[in-house]
Amino acid sequence: MQKLLQNIHNKLGQARRWFNSQSKKKRVLLLTSIFLLITVPLTGAWYWQRLNDTKGRLIPGDVEWPDNDDDGILDINEAFDENIINIALFGFDRNEARDETHDSYRPDTLMVAAVNLETGQVDVINIPRDTLVPIYDRGGGRDKINASYYYGWSTAITGLTDPQERHESGLNSVRQTVSMALNVPIHYWVSLDMDGVSEIIDILGGVWYDVETNVYTGHGNLVVEAGYQRLSGRQFLWYVRNRDFALGDIQRNKNQQQIMVAAFEQFSRANKLLKAPEVYMNMRNNVETNLTVEQMASLALFATHNIRPDNINTHIMPGSLGMGRMSENVSFSSWYYLIDQQARVELIKDIWGISVDPRPTDTLYPPLPDEEPDDESEHDPPPKADEGQGVDPSDEQDEVDEGTGDDSGGEQDSDDNDDPGAGDQEEDPQDQEESGNEDESESEDETNTENSEDD
- Residue 96 has a pLDDT of 57
94 falls in which pLDDT band (50, 70, 90)?
A: low
- Indicate the range of 160-169, 183-192, 358-367 predicted with least confidence: 160-169
Q: What is the pLDDT of residue 78?
A: 38
Report yes or no: 299 and 291 within 8 Å, Cβ to Cβ: yes
Average pLDDT over residues 271-297: 82
Task: Report the distance separating Cα 154 and Cα 173, nearest Å.
Answer: 11
- pLDDT tens-digit profile of 107-157? 889 999 999 988 999 999 999 999 999 999 999 899 999 999 999 988 766
Whether 281 has a pLDDT exceeding 50, the answer reads yes
Query: Cα(79)–Cα(14) distance, rounded to whole angstroms?
Result: 52
pLDDT band, residue 192 (cuts 50/70/90): confident
Of the listed ranges 160-169, 307-316, 388-397, the least confidently predicted one is 388-397
CATH superfamily of 85-435: LCP protein (3.40.630.190)
For the chain, the average pLDDT equals: 72
Instruction: Tell me if 97 sits within 8 A of 413, measured CB to CB.
Output: yes
Indicate the domain borders of the chain. Answer: 2-52, 85-435
Averaged pLDDT for residues 264-289: 83
Candidates 246, 256, 255, 250; CA nearest to 375 is 246
